[in-house]
Amino acid sequence: MDQPFSQYFGTNYAPSDEECLEINKLLEQPRARLLQIEEEISRVEKILSDLNRERDSVSDAIDKYAILLTPIRRISQDVLQEIFIRCLPTDHNAVMASNEAPLLLGRVCSSWRTTSRSTPQLWSTIHIPIPRHHASFYALDIPPGDYSELARKVVEVRATVARDWLLRSGACPVDISLNQWDEAPSTDPDLPRPLLAVVVPFSERWRKVSITAPIQSLSGITALPPAALPSLESLSLNFSRVRSWGYGVEPTSSVNKDIFRAPKLTALSLTQLREDSLRLPVKWAQLTELSLEGNAWSRESGLSPSRTLQLLSMCPQLVKCRLEVGMREISEELDVPSVRLSKLQSFSIFDAVGLGPAFERLDLPVLDNIEFHTSIWPGSTKTSLFTLLSRLQLPIRTLTTDPQIFTKDDFLETLSFVPSLKTLTLKRSLVGSPSPWTEGPGTPDVARLDDAMLRRLLIPDEEGRCLFLHLTTFEIFSDLTFRDETLLQCIQGRVSSEGVTNLKRVYIQFNRQKGVDILPALSSFVEDGLSIELFYLAYQQRGPFSPSDGLPPAPLPAGIPWFRGF
C-alpha cells in the first residue's frame, strides 16, 4: 500500500505549509494508536512487576525451607570430618592461608568452624614460611629497615597461629615444614627462632619434619635427643645455600646432631651439608629413603665413587636413594667390594666424575625407577647411565633425565636399553646441561627436543619400529623447540598405531608462548581417558609474605627447575 510522501523519506525535502497540514492530519490516527499501546504496555508492566514481586516472595519462602532439606545438613559428623580431611593438599603440608583448607572450612559457618576445629587430623600438617630477606625482592618499594621490622611482626603472627594450629592437632602425629630459603648473603639467622620455639614443644609428635634455614638457626632442632623424638620417621634438613657460599659461616659439624639418633627415623634428606655425612650419628641400617644433595663438590661432604659405595653398603634397607657425586678418587683404581641393595626401587644420581666403575659394583635386583644427570660434557665419554642400565636384571619402568647431557646418538642408544618404559620424564639439569642455543666449532651434536626427536620418542618410524611400545606417561620440564602441531600429530599418531599403548598422561612446560591451541582437537582423546596439561610461560613470582613461600610453584617455565634437584 502506497504511503503519502514516502518518496521524501530519508531526504532533505522541506514540506510546504499545505503539506504540513496534510501530514499532521495523516498522523492523527497513528498517534492515537501509539498512546493506546503505551497505556497497554504500562498496564502489562505493572502486572509483570506485581508477578515478579510475588514470585520473589514465594521463592524466598521456598528457599528457606529448601535450605533445611540440603543433604549437607544431614551428613553425620564423622562423614563431614572425612570430607574436610580430603580437602587438604596431598603434595605439600597445609598452608596458613584463609583461602585454603583447613582455615577456609572454618569460614563457611559457625557449625563448620566448630567441626573443623574439633577435627585433629585437619591440623596435623603445617607449612610455615619464614620471610625472605629484603634483597630477594628487587622491586619491593619498602625501605630495608621497615621491611625487617615488618618481617619480624609477620613471624610473631605466624608463631601465634602455628601454636594454635598445632594445639588443635590433639594427639595426632604432625608433619611440619619450615622454609627460610634465601639468595641474600645477609639472611637473618635469628628470624626463624620464634617459629622454631613454637614447634619444638611438639617434638614428641613429629612424624615428618622438613626445615630450610641457616645452621645457626637449626642448632636447637638438631640437638634434640632421641627421647624427644619417639615418632619421627622422616627428616629433611636444608642448611640454606646462602650460608654455604663462604660468608664466614661455621660448618654444620659445629652443632650437636642428636636428632639423627631418633629411634624410628627411616627417611633422611640433607642438603648443603658441610661435613662428612658418613660420620653422622645416623642409624644407616634402618633407612629406607636417603637424599644427599647440594654438596657434590664440597671438600667437607662431597662423595667420591668409593665413598658412595661405602655409604650404600651401610644402608641395606634403602628403597629410594638420591645422591650427588662430585669428588674424584685419589687413586684411579676403585678397590671396593660390591654392594647389593635388594630393596632399592628408585635411584636418582648426579654424576660429575664418571660412576661407571662404581655402577659395575652395584647389584640392584628390583630397581624400577632411575633419574640420571651429569655435568660431564656430552660426547666426551659414554655416560655412566649406559653401565647402570646394562647391568639391570629387570626392565625399568620409569626414567628421568636431561636429553641435553647426551649427544643425539647417545641419547637414542641409551633409550634403546629401556624398551619397556612406561614413564619418561625429560627434565633440565641444574648444571652440566649445554644451552639449547650453544653452537659453534667443536660443539657436540646434543640431543634436542625438536620435531624429529619428538616423533622418534612417541610414534613408530617408517619401518614400524617404536622406541617405547608401552609408554603411558610423557613429561617435559626441559628446553624444547618442537611445534604444537607436531605434538598433536604424535599423540594422534600413537593412538592410530597398532601394537602401541595409548598415552594416558602428557604434561609439558613450554619455554615459549602458545603457537596453536591443540586441546580442542584432543577432546575425544580426553574423553577416552587422556590427561593432558600444557603450560606456556605461566610463572608468577609470589609476594614477600606469601603463606606458600618455600613450596614449589606450579608451573614454572621449562628450563627453570621447579624444585631442588640436579
Q: Is 292 exposed, middle or buried (0-12, 13-18, 19+ CB in 10 A)?
A: buried
Whether residue 92 lies inside any domain: the answer is no
- 558 in Cβ contact with 428 (< 8 Å): yes
Which of 250, 309, 304 shows the shortest CA–CA distance to 275? 250
Q: What is the pLDDT along the chain (566 residues), one digit of tens a residue?
A: 578 888 888 899 999 999 899 899 999 999 999 999 999 999 999 999 999 999 999 999 999 999 888 888 889 999 999 999 999 999 999 999 999 999 999 999 999 999 999 999 999 999 999 887 665 554 456 777 788 888 889 999 999 999 999 999 999 999 999 988 655 544 566 788 899 899 999 999 999 999 988 777 788 889 999 999 999 999 999 886 544 444 444 566 667 889 999 999 999 999 888 888 888 999 999 999 999 998 777 776 789 899 999 999 999 999 999 999 988 776 556 677 899 999 999 999 999 998 999 999 999 999 999 999 998 888 777 889 999 999 888 889 999 999 999 999 999 999 999 999 999 999 988 764 555 445 555 567 889 999 999 999 999 988 888 999 999 999 999 889 999 999 999 999 998 888 899 999 999 999 888 899 999 999 999 999 999 999 987 555 566 677 777 776 654 443 333 333 33
Up-side HSE of residue 195: CA atoms within 13 Å toward CB?
Answer: 29
Counted domains in the chain: 1
Whether residue 90 lies inside any domain: the answer is no
Whether residue 478 lies inside any domain: the answer is no
Up-side HSE of residue 386: CA atoms within 13 Å toward CB?
Answer: 14
Q: Is the dihedral of CA 311, 313, 319, 323 positive or negative?
A: positive
Q: Cite the beta strand spans of 83-173 per DSSP E.
A: 125-129
Whether residue 557 lies inside any domain: the answer is no
CA gap 408, 403 in Å, rounded: 8
DSSP for 439-465, written as a single string: -STT---B---SHHHHHHHHS--TTS-
Which domain covers residue 40, as residue numbers? 29-69
CA gap 522, 391 in Å, rounded: 40
CA gap 277, 327 in Å, rounded: 14
Alpha-carbon 37 to chain mean position: 65
**Confidence (pTM):** 0.81
Whether residue 37 lies inside any domain: the answer is yes
Which of 327, 296, 243 shows the shortest CA–CA distance to 430? 296
Whether residue 44 lies inside any domain: the answer is yes
Whether residue 63 lies inside any domain: the answer is yes
Cell numbers placing 191: 628470624
Cell numbers placing 75: 551428613
- 229 in Cβ contact with 262 (< 8 Å): yes
Whether residue 38 lies inside any domain: the answer is yes
3-state secondary structure of 372: strand
CA gap 478, 559 in Å, rounded: 5
